[in-house]
Amino acid sequence: MSNSFEINWNLLLPEIVLVTAALFLLLLGVIYRVRAGGTGPALAGAVLSLAGLVVCAFMTLAQWDTVSGTFHGMLRIDPFATYFNLLFLAGAAAGVLLSVREAGSLRGVAGEYYALLVIATFGMMVMVSAADLLVVFIGLETMSLAVYILVGSRREKAESNEAALKYFLIGAFASGFLIYGIAFLFGATGTTQFRGLAERLATTDGGPSGLQLLGLGLVLIGFLFKVAAVPFHMWVPDAYEGAPTPITAYMAVAVKAAGFAVLLRLLNVGLLPLASYWLPVMWTLAVATMLVGNLGAIFQSSIKRMLAYSSIAHAGYLLVALASINPLAANPADDRALLAVLYYLAIYTLMNVGAFGVLIYMGTAGRPMDTLEQVRGAGFRYPLLAAAMAVFMFSLSGIPPTGGFLAKFYVFSAAIDRGLISLAIIGVLNSAVSVYYYLRVVVQMYMRESEEPLPALSFSLPVALAILLSAWGVLQLGILPSCLLDAAGRAVQFLR
Amino acid sequence: MISLHQLLLLSAVLFVIGIAGFITRRNIIIMFMSVELMLNAANLALISFANHSGSMDAQLIALFVMALAAAEVAVGLAIIITVFRNKQTVNVDELNILKW
Amino acid sequence: MAEQILFYLFAVIAIISALSAVTRKNPVVSAVWLVSCMCSLAVIYVLLEAYFLAAVQVIVYAGAVLMLFVFVIMLLNLRTGIIGQFRNLGLKFMGLVLTVIILRQFYTAFKGTSLILGNAGGLEPGFGEARAVGELLFTRYVYPLELISILLLVAIVGALVLAGKESS
């Protein structure tokens, strides 16, 4: 054990910037509450948090070539961490942009709202740049606690309370499993560091012990709750529907990406010696998750709830990629399953930010956009918005030339590469089913007349910006994916 | 010295009682207490491992779990209070605005 | 030998308290049973030479966490009418079956594992005392320590946002 205090604080600079921004945001709440300002705190909060996120993003970008660890091997910055950190920052920035319009109704807690959003992002960055299960656990809890609160931040609304409660109870239950699993993995190997874990698991004589498998199982249950895989998905529709829409978008993109990023690192570094045990589990869960997500989505009349089931289905496609990982690949950059996950999560972020953005834009204060009937005729009344929505729906269902198509293509071809033909076929069939409910939204917008005239929408620059950037990204990366693929390829090199 | 088998078995029994409580009760507060029981079971396992391996690391992990449980309780009870303000109930089955 | 007897005694108390805590109708009674469970665990921690953690267990869990529970139950003034009962009988039965299955799983896993960890030479002097914990906390575990401080900040802010006074 080295007792030296040589800590490289530079590696932690982006995180420090985020926490500083969050502290200023908290102060903001105090300053404005004294002056009893109207929309002042909401606007100032948005500007301040965006500034913090942008500065942090530049610092993270500067770490692109860094491969280093510090804090007694608990922190590890490598391109894999940097790739996901940038993704989380993008998701958080989208969350802020989408919140600007609704933040007026936060009544005195706008500063705290943005501060929690920033700290949740901080938690994700800690998780993905951790090299130790204990740090992963603390980062995960920081993120989760902040998101529970954000889900319940509309405290005068019963749906918001209820969603927060259900999400919280299930989340706390899941973290019980996670910590018990960590305890067993520690007991079986004597370490919680990923590298040490892999070494000791690989050198166990006569196959893994019961304690190791128990640890693996419990840790997996803990994470699968977070990424909403069946059968641990039951909280998703309620939490997504009840949360304020910008937070739903944030949960759908950033929280899910964080869960998968950590799972990827844990499975590929720490638990790689047990691959023959977790690969079949992923196979089964992938099938179940795709089926439940897609079948559930068909019967929804609320678009928000439909997107919640769709997020379960997309978790299923991502699990297909996890089931197709080749544990023996000499160079992880050659493993197409890993590349597919990274590309998929980036595209998924863009599609969801866009789709939720359109829902927010189309809603007005007295008439929140929710059901399929409400978008009837939107194609004629709001041509630009409807066109953007159509792009996102095409992309979600995987129709070319959008990014969603390529994402699914990479996932399924990775499965075929590994000989999982039946899994790929089930996946393709599922995604064919999904076309039905995604295109139903487009059909309602363009082929039905609305019963009552649709109201004029007030222009909102931040929301429009979020929608525009996502639409551009979905199309651009669907036609010319090479730059993102290069980045992902470099990122996965440092996995394992 | 107490055998590790017995300690782990005690911790497993507590953990499973926690799971059973969470699944079968509909009172939110008792469901939440069951989760605390699960965290305690994990701590007992960690401290047993620390004692039997002679390294302090597991004790430190248990200490962090305690800090975390305290934070979780503060947030959880705050959420329960907001729910109760609007709905006057702590029964999960009566929380049905959203289809569970 | 005395160690063994104490362990059995408090293990039984812990299990009985835990069972009572999850089966009582009244949450206040449950909370008191849970305190008893936490305290008997603290005794077992002492037997395992985790002296500092035993103290923290009593102070944080039995003292702060469960007091907070009782405080909230009293604050909400839960009357028996609105106190939730068990879910329906089918679910109760399912819970019981699941419990037995999981417990069996654990038991076989423990049984099939040789649980001999590297502790041949006995524990170092000072093991589990505040000094040893503190030294590790501020050297090897300084990063998680810093992170926990942010987590506690989130908890404070969260409690304020959710349950604080309405400022309109």
ipTM for the predicted complex: 0.94
- Confidence label for C99 from pLDDT (cuts 50, 70 and 90): confident
Co-location of C27 and C45 in the same domain: yes
Phi, then psi, of C86 in degrees rounded to 5: -75, 160
Chain A residues within an 8 Å CB radius of C65: none
Chain C residues within an 8 Å CB radius of B93: 84, 87
Q: Which of A74-83, A455-464, B44-53, C114-123 has the lowest mean pLDDT?
A: C114-123
Give me the mean pLDDT over the A422-446 stretch.
Answer: 92
- Asked if the structure places residue A381 within a domain, the reply is yes
* A142 or C63: which leads in pLDDT: A142
Chain C residues within an 8 Å CB radius of B96: none
Mark out the alpha helices in A152-274 (DSSP H runs): 158-189, 194-202, 210-226, 236-242, 245-250, 256-265
Chain B residues within an 8 Å CB radius of C52: 59, 63
Give the whole-number percent of chain A exceeding pLDDT 70.
95
Q: Which of A402-416, B19-33, C84-98 has the lowest mean pLDDT?
A: C84-98
Q: How far apart are CA A172 and CA A473, in angstroms?
A: 36
User: CA-nearest residue of chain C to B15?
Assistant: C103
Give me the mean pLDDT over the C135-144 stretch.
Answer: 91
Verify cis geometry, omega within 30 degrees of 0, for the bond prior to A231. Answer: yes
Co-location of C46 and C95 in the same domain: no
Residue A343 pLDDT > 60, yes or no? yes
Q: What is the pLDDT of residue C112?
A: 65
Co-location of C32 and C57 in the same domain: yes
Domain tally, chain A = 1
Chain B residues within an 8 Å CB radius of A165: 28, 79-80, 83, 95
Q: How far apart are CA A119 and CA A123, in angstroms?
A: 6
Q: Which of B4-18, B50-64, B83-97 has the lowest mean pLDDT?
A: B83-97
Residues of B with CB under 8 A from a CB of A: 8, 15, 18, 22, 28, 31-32, 35, 38-39, 41-43, 45-46, 48-49, 53, 55, 57-58, 61, 64-65, 68, 71-72, 75-76, 78-80, 82-83, 85-87, 92, 95, 97-100
- Confidence label for A186 from pLDDT (cuts 50, 70 and 90): very high
- Confidence label for B58 from pLDDT (cuts 50, 70 and 90): very high
Q: What is the pLDDT of residue C166?
A: 62
Q: What is the pLDDT of residue A33?
A: 62
Task: At C126, list the tokens.
Answer: 């000072």
Most C CBs within 10 Å, among B1, B3, B46, B59, to test the C interface = B59
Q: Supply the mean pLDDT for chain B.
A: 87
pLDDT tens-digit series, residues C66-82: 888 888 888 887 654 44
Contact C128 B90 (CB under 8 A): no
Give me the mean pLDDT over the A417-421 stretch.
Answer: 91
Amino acid at A448: R
The residue segments making up the domain with residue C43 are 1-85
Chain B residues within an 8 Å CB radius of A155: 82, 85
Chain C residues within an 8 Å CB radius of A210: 108-113
Give me the mean pLDDT over the C27-54 stretch.
Answer: 93
Q: What is the pLDDT of residue C115?
A: 58
- Asked if the structure places residue A413 within a domain, the reply is yes
- Confidence label for C118 from pLDDT (cuts 50, 70 and 90): low
- For B25, the 3-state DSSP assignment is strand
- Asked if the structure places residue A380 within a domain, the reply is yes
Co-location of C6 and C79 in the same domain: yes
Q: How far apart are CA A482 and CA A480, in angstroms?
A: 6
User: CA-nearest residue of chain C to A150?
Assistant: C158
Contact A149 C143 (CB under 8 A): no
Contact B12 C162 (CB under 8 A): no
> Is residue A123 packed enough to be buried (19+ CB in 10 Å), middle (13-18) or exposed (0-12)?
buried
pLDDT tens-digit series, residues B28-43: 888 999 999 999 999 9
Residue A359 pLDDT > 70, yes or no? yes
Which residue in C65, C76, C86 is closest to B73 by CB distance? C65
- Asked if the structure places residue C28 within a domain, the reply is yes
Residue C119 pLDDT > 60, yes or no? no
Cα within 13 Å of Cα(A38), Cβ side:
0
A274 DSSP 8-state letter: G
- Asked if the structure places residue C45 within a domain, the reply is yes
Nearest to A373 by CA among A275, A261, A452: A452
- Asked if the structure places residue A247 within a domain, the reply is no
Residues A175/A141, Cβ–Cβ less than 8 Å = yes
Helix A79-99 vs helix A110-128: angle between axes, to the nearest 10 degrees?
A: 160
- Asked if the structure places residue A1 within a domain, the reply is no
Interface partners of chain C (CB pairs < 8 Å, 3 or more) are A, B
* A262 or A205: which leads in pLDDT: A262
How far is CA A114 from its chain centroid? 18
Amino acid at A434: S
Co-location of C20 and C79 in the same domain: yes
- Asked if the structure places residue C124 within a domain, the reply is no
Residues C95/B20, Cβ–Cβ less than 8 Å = yes
pLDDT tens-digit series, residues A296-335: 999 888 888 999 999 999 999 999 999 999 888 878 878 8
Place of tokens 């309109």: C168
Co-location of C97 and C77 in the same domain: no
Chain C residues within an 8 Å CB radius of A126: 147
* C69 or C84: which leads in pLDDT: C69
- Confidence label for A53 from pLDDT (cuts 50, 70 and 90): very high
Q: What is the pLDDT of residue C81?
A: 46
Give me the mean pLDDT over the A485-491 stretch.
Answer: 89
Most C CBs within 10 Å, among B4, B22, B28, B33, to test the C interface = B33
Residues of A with CB under 8 A from a CB of C: 1, 3, 5, 7, 19, 26, 33, 71-72, 74-75, 107-109, 112-113, 115-116, 119, 122-123, 126, 134-135, 138-139, 141-142, 145-146, 148-149, 152-153, 155, 164, 187-188, 190, 209-211, 213-214
The residue segments making up the domain with residue A438 are 274-496
Residue C163 pLDDT > 60, yes or no? yes
- Confidence label for A344 from pLDDT (cuts 50, 70 and 90): very high
* A400 or A116: which leads in pLDDT: A116
CATH topology of domain B4-94: Helix Hairpins (1.10.287)
Residue A108 pLDDT > 90, yes or no? no
Residue C168 pLDDT > 50, yes or no? no
Which residue in C15, C86, C117 is closest to B13 by CB distance? C15
Distance between the two ends of chain B, CA-based, in angstroms?
48
Q: How far apart are CA A22 and CA A41, in angstroms?
A: 14
Residue A96 pLDDT > 50, yes or no? yes
Amino acid at A455: P
Contact A165 B97 (CB under 8 A): no
* Residue A255: C-alpha distances to residues A133, A291, A320, A467, C2 (Å): 18, 22, 19, 20, 50
Domain tally, chain C = 3
Chain A residues within an 8 Å CB radius of C158: 116, 145-146, 148-149
What is the gyration radius of the CA atoms in chain C, in angstroms?
21
Q: Which of A399-408, C40-49, C85-94 has the lowest mean pLDDT?
A: C85-94
User: Long-range contacts made by residues A447-450, C-beta under 8 angstroms, separation at least 24?
Assistant: A448/A376, A448/A377, A449/A376, A449/A377, A450/A376, A450/A377, A450/A378, A450/A381
Q: What is the pLDDT of residue B37?
A: 94
Residues A15/A126, Cβ–Cβ less than 8 Å = yes
- Confidence label for A459 from pLDDT (cuts 50, 70 and 90): confident
Q: What is the pLDDT of residue C116?
A: 54
Residue C121 pLDDT > 60, yes or no? no
User: CA-nearest residue of chain C to B29?
Assistant: C27
Any idea where the domains of chain B sit in the sequence? 4-94
Contact C18 B60 (CB under 8 A): no
Mark out the alpha helices in chain B (DSSP H runs): 4-24, 28-53, 57-87
Most B CBs within 10 Å, among C10, C53, C100, to test the B interface = C53
Residue B97 pLDDT > 70, yes or no? no
* Beta-bridge partners for C86: B25
Q: What is the pLDDT of residue A422?
A: 93
Give me the mean pLDDT over the C101-115 stretch.
Answer: 76
Residues A149/A190, Cβ–Cβ less than 8 Å = no
Q: What is the pLDDT of residue A71?
A: 84
Task: At A151, list the tokens.
Answer: 């889900």
Q: What is the pLDDT of residue A34?
A: 52
Co-location of C81 and C147 in the same domain: no
